Amino acid sequence: MIASTDNNKAEKDHPDNLSLAGDGFDTVIKAKQALDAVANCRNKVSCADILTIATRDVVNLAGGPRYEVELGRRDGLSSTADSVEGKLPHPTDNVNQLTSLFAKNGLSRKDMIALSGAHTLGFAHCKLVFNRIYNFNSTTQVDPTVNKDYVAALQGSCPRNVDPSVAINMDPTTPRQFDNVYYQNLQQGKGLFTSDQDLFTDSRSKPIVNLWASNAKLFNQDFVNSMIKLGRVGVKTGRNGNIRRDCGAFN
C-alpha cells in the first residue's frame, strides 16, 4: 500500500508487484477515508484489515463464498522493495517450489492449491506467458502441456510484437466469476501459468485438482479455510505496527 518516495523504493514498486491494479489500492484508500470520516471509527481500523475485508468482499461479489474475517491487525512500519525478493510465487514455479514457498508461511500443499484457485479471477500481462507460447525450451517453442486451442487464443491476444503489459484473463472461461472452473481449465490444459498447469501435471496435486473441479461446494469450503490461514500470516499487533491515517504513507 505504501507509495515510494525519493528516499525509499516501496514494496508496491518491486517488479513482482507492478501488475497490481491501481484501482485496487484506490478502493482501500477510499474505504479508509470513509471510515475515518466517522468520529466513532476514526483511527480504529487498520489498512491491513480493510484490505483483508475487501478481498473477502470481492470473492463474494463475484459469486464466491462469504466468510468471517478475523480482525485486529495493525499496519506495518516499513515497506521496501528489497523485502519482497523471494517472498512471492512466480509464474514459472513448479509444485515443489510452490510447496516450499507456502510452507515458509505455515501453509500446506493443500492450502497452496486452494489459494491458487484465486486465479479464477483477475488478469496477468502478456510478458508472463511469452515463454510458454513462443520460447519454451531448446527443442519446442510451445509448452506441450498447453491446450492447442488455448495456445492459438493466447497467441492471438499476445502476438510476438505486442506491448508486454497488455492484460489477459487468468481464467479464459469464466473470468469474472469466482468458481471452480479454474480447476476444470487445468484438466483441459488451460492453466495460464506453468505454476497453474503444474498443479494438474504433478501427481501429488492432481487428485485435489480433480476433486475440486467436480465439487464446487467443497472447493469453496477449503478455499475459505486456506484464506483464513493466509490472513494470519505476518500479522502485526501492539508495538509491531500502528493504524495509519493514510494507507499510502507512513504517518
**Which neighbouring-strand residues pair with 8?**
5
Which residues make up each annotated binding site?
11, 89, 119-120, 171, 174, 179
The C-alpha angle with vertex 62 and arms to 57 and 66, in degrees rounded to 5, equals: 45
Domain shared by 66 and 148, yes or no: no
Tell me the pLDDT tens digit for each residue of 20-32: 888 889 999 999 9
Answer whether residue 238 is part of any domain.
no
- Return the bridge partners of 167, or none: 125
Rounded to whole angstroms, how far apart are CA atoms 76 and 237?
9
Q: Which of 191, 230, 228 is nearest to 209 (CA)?
A: 191
The rounded distance, in Å, linking the Cα atoms of 4 and 69 is: 29
We report the CATH number of the domain holding residue 60 as: 1.10.520.10
Mean pLDDT across the chain, nearest whole number? Answer: 95
Do 102 and 74 lie in a common domain?
Answer: no
Statement to judge: residues 198 and 113 lie in one domain:
yes
Co-location of 44 and 138 in the same domain = no
**Element of type H or E holding 60:** helix 47-61
The answer to whether position 3 is within a domain reads no
Q: What is the pLDDT, as a whole number, of residue 48?
A: 97
| Domain C-terminal end among 56, 86, 116 | 86
Is 250 within the bounds of a domain? no
Same domain, 131 and 58: no
- Residue 172, pLDDT > 80, answer yes
Residue 19 confidence class, pLDDT cut points 50, 70, 90: confident
154 lies in the same domain as 210: yes
For residue 35, what pLDDT is reported? 96
CATH number at residue 218: 1.10.420.10
**Is 198 contained in some domain?**
yes
Question: Which amino acids are annotated as binding site for substrate, given as ranges?
Answer: 89
Under the phi-then-psi rule, with left for phi > 0, alpha for psi from -120 to 50, and beta for the rest, what region is 46?
beta
The parent domain of residue 69 ranges over 11-86
- Residue ranges in 122-180 assigned as alpha helix (H): 130-133, 148-157
**Nearest-angstrom CA–CA distance, 170 and 174:** 9
pLDDT of residue 250: 87
> Could you tell me the pLDDT band of residue 169, with boundaries at 50, 70 and 90?
very high
Vertex 54: Cα angle to 199 and 78 (nearest 5): 85
- Distance CA(248)–CA(251), nearest Å, equals 9
Residue 244 within a domain: no
Q: How many distinct structural domains can be found in the chain?
A: 2
pTM of the shown model: 0.94
- Show binding-site residues for Ca(2+): 11, 120, 171, 174, 179
Residue of 221, 206, 209 whose CA lies nearest to 119: 209
pLDDT surpassing 80 at residue 251: no
Per the listing, cell 485438482 goes with 209
pLDDT digits (tens, 9 = 90+) for 74-106: 999 999 999 999 999 999 999 999 999 999 999
What is the per-residue pLDDT across 36-76, written as a single tens digit (0 to 9) for each? 999 999 999 999 999 999 999 999 999 999 999 999 999 99
| Residues 105-132: tens digit of each pLDDT | 999 999 999 999 999 999 999 999 999 9
Query: Are 226 and 133 found together in one domain?
Result: yes
Classify residue 105: in a domain, yes or no.
Answer: yes
Confidence of residue 134 (pLDDT cuts 50, 70, 90): very high
- Whole-angstrom distance, CA of residue 156 vs CA of residue 46: 43
Domain identity same for 159 and 136: yes
Is residue 29 a part of any domain in this protein? yes
Domain end position, chosen among 86, 114, 133: 86
